[in-house]
Structure 1
Amino acid sequence: MSTSGAGTSGTGTSGTTATGIGAPVRRKEDFRFVTGNGRYTADIDRPGQVCLHFLRSTHAHARIVRIQAGHASRMPGVLAVITGQDLAADKLGPLVCGWMIHSTDGSPMKMAPHPALTVDAVRYVGEPVAAVIAQTPEQARDAAEAIIVDYEELPAVVDPAAAQGPDAPLIHAVAPNNTIFHWQLGDAAAVADAFARAASVTSIDLVNNRLVPNAIEPRGALAEWDPGSDSYTLWNTSQNPHVARLVLSAFVGVAPEHRLRVVAPDVGGGFGSKIFIYAEEVVALAAAKRVRRPVRWICDRSEAFVADAHGRDHVTHAQMAFDRDGRILGLRVKTIANLGAYMSTFSSSIPTYLYATLLSGQYAIPAIHCAVDAVYTNTVPVDAYRGAGRPEATYVIERLMEVSARRLGVDPAELRRKNFVQTFPHQTPVIMSYDCGDYAASLDKALALADYQGFGARRRESEARGRLRGIGLSAYIEACGIAPSQAVGSLGAGVGLWESAEVRVNPTGTVEVLTGSHSHGQGHETTFAQLVSDRLGIPIDTISVVHGDTDKVQFGMGTYGSRSGAVGMSAIVKALDKVEAKARKVAAHMLEASEADIVFENGAFKVAGTDRAATFGEVALNAYIAHKFSGAELEPGLKEGAFYDPVNFTFPAGCHVCEVEIDPETGRVAIERFTAVDDFGNIINPMIVEGQVHGGIAQGIGQALMEQAVYDDSGQLVTGSYNDYVMPRAVDLPPLVVDTTVTPCPGNPLGIKGCGEAGAIAAPAAVMNAVTDALGTEEVPMPANPLTVWRVLQKAGRLQAAE
């Protein structure tokens, strides 16, 4: 990977190897992972722990007439059977959605009650109905199977496009027509005027297919109640343990916040699906107190298909208006967003403020209007999944740009270039104000690396072999570093989205960094230590990073939306500023000099113009000895904390180019080349960034070509295992060409933007643009799996024969 201009060269010291900002440092945490010494939730054992198993609904929609659990409760090893009635008796509240959206008429979203264990009805296959606590997993499972539930089956609706129909069954009484909200953003009148003046209009209909998250580590929870202090500890596979504690205490009512500790130990991937507060941890906590034993639940892979929140699932009609010169005049989008049977923790924000606000893409579009209807269906709840709204927006705008170029008879790259935003800051018609960027630079580098000019020769060579070849672009932008608390508060967020950090310097000069961000594969233990090493001039192996424990870190907002660098590391910078300021005072006392004459560089404090100096370690020790200064003048110790609230989102952007070859006899799509050029601002560790990009592209290719959660008309998930839900494998990916351009972000002290979601955002549109180019038709639904492509080819052949 080339990282042209990607950050400053490392200046930290660890032997002779650079370990500071910009250095490709090997991840510190990987040794324990690859040697089997990671400590995940499933690895934690507490004395006397017992097992939790859930009885889940086999119906998509049914009224619960009666639950008979008497026999199950008397089976060997069973300690308790818990139902929704028991949780209600314990005064535990429902799960909540933390982002308020109002409809265009001003009415609040129709949030239906979401109990951890349903009481009156089931509304999707997999909804937990009862829970069994037993000595072993096998005993708990056997007892759950012995529970008898009498159901009165009801009709179901799974298609979001049909959920608002007059004949659709009503899922929640609080939501007529199964509609959660009618929401809109932008200027409908300005868009209507733009379309009235247009020389041409491109219209498309798109379905953004539903996805199932598949982190390596399935979710789990281990809950323990201490009767002496009436306090709880929850070990949980969470991306944001502090928010989990807040919701579980303040809204669900498990325990006061100061008597609930949440620990997220090593977590094997999240991709958004581990942000949310789920039913299982609520039940585990309640069960721990009920049976007075630690209670553990570990999800198995099949269970995860219906227990974890799904992603995407949009049905969209979009139109783009152009003038005679090919410049965009306006954009009109209407989307139906499927939120499943219940609202999840952040679900309302995904198809609204994380989607519609990015519909301007990289383009200077004068007028945009987006209308979104969010609907309930009898399916697993839908929430954030890697990219969360930004992939859906990019898919709309980049499919429109590609289709428009083909219909206008112009090069897709040049149509994009003509419409790029040229000057910054740039205020879009849909809230966002882009702070910086050079979109043409990313486009030019991507086209050169992809040998865009040589594509014609490669296409002719493929045709000579009876194959179809296509090329597609995706010029994406995303909003990361989520986000200024005042801004998101005005848009309905129930929490501020700042981040916290504490830097503790020990007397020996070693450093502990406590962060409210959470690492579940991103390499924070390395990149955060690189920042400290670079700033303090100390070896990286003398720095430890602590996260994921509400008893150790005072508060934090967790990791999602590529915010750990731009927001989490900026908080560390603020704390380091304070540490350095105090250390200067200590050094001035030690060196008997004026504080104004103290210079800090390369890990040493020096008196300007002299040879008097003290190392960082010597200053740290003297800060705790405190012999050199009066306590009234300067407090002993060297420990500082900070909170950082960003001034704006950050806006990573770039251009991805995909080239495919299709076998018309089988419909198989082979990705021959994939090029990604991204602008992430300054880069801390280029090796880790490259890995993030590779992973995101793999997920984006998975969505484009193979992944899809499919329900039948009765609401059964027919892709409920890896036998039917296809994941990308190494053989499905070509060698990836990954590079960067750099425009440093002006909104944070490190100039970084975020990289974690870029591949998943850009790749689906690039792949589908290449597939449709190869096939010569836009009527190709995603995912373009072999059967879908083969059917498109057969249809095209029949049409040609008819002509």
Structure 2
Amino acid sequence: MNAPDSQTPRMIGASVKRKEDYRFLTGAGQYTDDVVLPAQTWAVFVRSPHAHARIKSIDTHAAKAAPGVVAVFTGADLAAENVGGLPCGWLIHSIDGTPMHEPPHPVIAHEKARHVGDQVALVIAGSLKEAKDAAERVEIDYEELPATVDTAHAADAGQALVHDGVPNNTCYTWGHGDKAATDAAFAQAAHVTTLDIVNNRLIPNAIEPRAVNASYSRHDDAYTVYVSNQNPHVERLLMAAFVLGLPETKLRIVAPDVGGGFGSKIFLYAEDVALTWAAKKIGRPIKWTAERSESFVSDAHGRDHVTKAELALDKDGKFLAMRVHTTANMGAYLSTFASSVPTILYATLLAGQYTTPAIYAEVKAVFTNTVPVDAYRGAGRPEATYVVERLVETAAREMNIDPAEIRRRNFITSFPYATPVGLTYDIGDYEACLSRALELADVKGFPARRDASKANGKLRGLGYSCYIEACGLAPSNIAGALGARAGLFEAGEIRVNPTGSVTVFTGSHSHGQGHETTFAQVVSERLGVPIEQIEIVHGDTARIPFGMGTYGSRSIAVGGSAIMKALDKIEAKAKKIAAHMLEAGVEDIEFADGVFRVAGTDRTKAFAEIALSAYVPHNYPLETLEPGLDESAFYDPTNFTYPSGAYLCEVEVDPDTGETRIERFTAVDDFGNVINPMIVEGQVHGGLGQGIGQAMLERCVYDNESGQLLSGSYMDYAMPHASDVPSFNVETAKGTPCTHNPLGVKGCGEAGAIGSPPAVINAIVDALGPLGVKDLQMPATPHRVWSAIQAAQSASASQQP
């Protein structure tokens, strides 16, 4: 055979167009709501209009008699059959060693409703309209109770208890770091910067609302559940083993195309369980798709921290210690991973990119009569980065040190680096990212632009943010020691077909990240198979190996590494087949660009020939090898990956109206080796949009007295529009490849949402600084900015002689 073309294009590092986009753009995607099964029924949940109420009675007679109704179920029906409550997947212990309080989380509220939107009845009918009409006939007698809503005061004496067995509404009080060393450092500090920070509650809004379609088969006594979910195997495990008491083999979870998740579709939700249980009861499939207003009161919310943060520095601006006290809202119940977000995923990132010698964080998690709070894009890392970068920027201003310079004085420069909060960063180059960001943002030209804005009656500010995050939660044994109730590995299987095409089965799940392209690029690069001949299969527990799904920017670093390990096995076996066919020793076989070669000769075999021989073993070492070419592997990482970067935001503020416009936004990220630059850039753009949304627009608001959700629709909850974000200046740095996974990759999906909020607020505070504004809480709406200006001007006037 002829030698392969030495100019064979590389797949890793190429901006290959996404394979999956054709079906999405032509309307050929299949989402959960597209699935309609024979004898299909539709479900509607009756939800509590009260934040906190005792359910005195439920009368379902009129609803059951309504046209088309198949069944009506209440919490009492599930309780009678001992259906378990929803479990929490992470156990946290308080400072005194006691385990966290885990009150029951019923699938359908029984005896009490604990937040507006809590499901109290399930109505099933032959059509969606009939189900809606019947749901209005369910009569419920509530005894309304006082509600606890405010995060900062939920644990105060006299507040109404969300759960009777949880004193002071406190789930746990957790500590991390060296308190004594931190306090000692503060005692000798030349300067202390203190901030009170509110990390505003957010409501996730994926394009596709949550949806479920559950069916039961008498033939094999098994269930099939189509669901918009990010980790189908975890959902199957939790629902089967911990709630319904089913063998896992009797429950198939299928997560087809999923229109965005951002963390909100990681969890096991009550609706999924209720429909699965009810499908056997009625002997017909049941579908539920959330309406947007319903999603606002049923999907897990994000963030919601109230924090007092302090940074101790010496006279030269070197960081000595950081002290953080945070109250984190859990909502009415513990969601699947809620307990880990303000602890393991938050406090461990408080070192940031800096050599702060001592850090202590104390976190009080509280229950309130609100929707449960859980992981949302970034999950703890945005909250940590916001604390760190707001402190650093404020300290720079207070000490009259340039914001870039104070960071440079404190950057970690030697790796590996063990932080005082339990992580070991393997590699990084923070100075390189910052220097490139300063160049791209034209910081040298900023004074002239600021003067031009001033001449037009506007205020211009520049804000910095140097973030680091931990991606690809790992390793399992460490996570287990920290309270995780699941492994954090990933699985991959490579099935080479007889004609040389390849099917990849992955435990990771794609809901917008482009896995069908990126994973195929990795396999194509390794095997020399055209990307068009590689199929990626995910999202179906009946087809894929047990995997942990997609969250925490883990897919390519953990899922891709599992695929690489399986490819190692494929190559090793294929070399043995090639050696037999080429009559050479295995040690003499080289493999590159899809061709096996006897080293130093022109004797070759193409990969497709080896594949065919594996399934048609006429010339095959049957005495030593089994036929076939199909290998699987599990990968449990030895450490997190640590993406990092430097973000600069430049804003212009109208002091008369408070209107703020982002004029420039520069993002330089270190993601290690990059598989597909185009996809990475898109992920950063999406993250920046969400981070800017939090910084300037989005805020979930409850009425403190009634517990009613005041921001319950797009009329009241301000999602960012295209006009709210600038044209981003995004660059991926040359990067420092991760040292402990075979691809050298780091996560990229959450970076934009992590690094952008502090950059935006730092820029606005910089713009308002000349007026005396020293701090500003998110979101920086025009009214909030204008009010801060007015308050600063009033304070200044009152101090005049």
* Short-chain TM bin: over 0.9
| Alignment correspondent of 1:8 | none
| Alignment correspondent of 1:406 | 397
| Alignment correspondent of 1:10 | none
2:576 matches 1:585 = yes
Decide which of 781, 785, 790 is 1:785's aligned counterpart: 781
Deviations 1:295-348 (A, max 9, x none): 000111111001100000000001010111110010000000001000000000
Are 1:19 and 1:25, in contact at CA under 8 Å, matched by a contact in 2?
no
Decide which of 97, 108, 113 is 1:117's aligned counterpart: 108
Residues of 1 paired with 2:6 and 2:795: CA distance? 69
* 1:623-638 to 2 correspondences below 5 Å: 623-638=614-629
| Alignment correspondent of 2:755 | 762
**Secondary structure, counterpart of 1:559 in structure 2:** coil
Residues of 1 paired with 2:165 and 2:743: CA distance? 47
Are 1:254 and 1:282, in contact at CA under 8 Å, matched by a contact in 2?
no
Change (3 A) 1:768 1:318: same
Decide which of 586, 591, 608 is 2:599's aligned counterpart: 608
**Secondary structure, counterpart of 2:404 in structure 1:** helix
Deviations 1:43-88 (A, max 9, x none): 1110011001000000000111101111111100001001011112
| Alignment correspondent of 1:383 | 374
How much does 1:594 deviate? 1.5
How much does 1:90 deviate? 2.5
**Secondary structure, counterpart of 1:251 in structure 2:** helix
How much does 1:118 deviate? 0.6
Decide which of 448, 451, 458 is 1:467's aligned counterpart: 458
Residues of 2 paired with 1:16 and 1:242: CA distance? 41
Residues of 1 paired with 2:309 and 2:530: CA distance? 54
* 1:303-382 to 2 correspondences below 5 Å: 303-382=294-373
2:692 matches 1:737 = no
Structure 2 counterpart of 1:761, one-letter code: I
How much does 1:610 deviate? 2.1
How much does 1:19 deviate? 5.6
Are 1:14 and 1:538, in contact at CA under 8 Å, matched by a contact in 2?
no
* 1:297-696 to 2 correspondences below 5 Å: 297-696=288-687
2:23 matches 1:32 = yes
How much does 1:630 deviate? 4.4
The count of aligned residue pairs is: 791
2:99 matches 1:108 = yes
Residues of 2 paired with 1:439 and 1:558: CA distance? 30
Residues of 2 paired with 1:380 and 1:90: CA distance? 26
Residues of 2 paired with 1:724 and 1:262: CA distance? 35
Residues of 2 paired with 1:600 and 1:793: CA distance? 67
2:728 matches 1:724 = no
The worse-fitting range, judged by mean Cα deviation, of 246-255 and 466-475 is: 246-255
Residues of 2 paired with 1:81 and 1:651: CA distance? 50
Change (3 A) 1:630 1:460: closer
How much does 1:25 deviate? 0.2
* 1:123-162 to 2 correspondences below 5 Å: 123-162=114-153
**Structure 1: which 5+ residue stretches go unaligned?**
1-12
Deviations 1:225-281 (A, max 9, x none): 001211000000000000000000110025210010000000000000000000000
Deviations 1:705-732 (A, max 9, x none): 0000000121001100000100111111
How much does 1:14 deviate? 12
Are 1:14 and 1:540, in contact at CA under 8 Å, matched by a contact in 2?
no
How much does 1:157 deviate? 1.2
Residues of 2 paired with 1:535 and 1:667: CA distance? 54
Structure 2 counterpart of 1:235, one-letter code: Y
Identity score, percent: 61
| Alignment correspondent of 1:7 | none
| Alignment correspondent of 2:792 | 796
Change (3 A) 1:25 1:14: farther
Deviations 1:662-697 (A, max 9, x none): 111221110000000000000000000000000000
Are 2:474 and 2:639, in contact at CA under 8 Å, matched by a contact in 1?
yes
Residues of 2 paired with 1:349 and 1:261: CA distance? 27
How much does 1:661 deviate? 0.4
Residues of 2 paired with 1:148 and 1:14: CA distance? 74
| Alignment correspondent of 1:3 | none
Are 2:332 and 2:368, in contact at CA under 8 Å, matched by a contact in 1?
yes
How much does 1:438 deviate? 0.5
**Structure 2: which 5+ residue stretches go unaligned?**
none
Structure 1 counterpart of 2:595, one-letter code: A
Residues of 1 paired with 2:201 and 2:675: CA distance? 34
Residues of 1 paired with 2:14 and 2:206: CA distance? 28
Structure 1 counterpart of 2:667, one-letter code: A
Residues of 2 paired with 1:430 and 1:410: CA distance? 26
Residues of 1 paired with 2:477 and 2:49: CA distance? 44
Structure 2 counterpart of 1:47, one-letter code: P
How much does 1:632 deviate? 3.3
Residues of 2 paired with 1:193 and 1:501: CA distance? 49
2:744 matches 1:751 = yes
| Alignment correspondent of 1:68 | 59
Decide which of 202, 205, 208 is 1:211's aligned counterpart: 202
2:12 matches 1:21 = yes
How much does 1:590 deviate? 1.2
**Secondary structure, counterpart of 2:328 in structure 1:** strand
Are 1:502 and 1:642, in contact at CA under 8 Å, matched by a contact in 2?
yes
Residues of 1 paired with 2:25 and 2:80: CA distance? 46
Residues of 2 paired with 1:301 and 1:455: CA distance? 42
Residues of 1 paired with 2:363 and 2:210: CA distance? 31
Residues of 2 paired with 1:711 and 1:604: CA distance? 63
Are 2:595 and 2:606, in contact at CA under 8 Å, matched by a contact in 1?
yes
TM-score using structure 1 length: 0.98
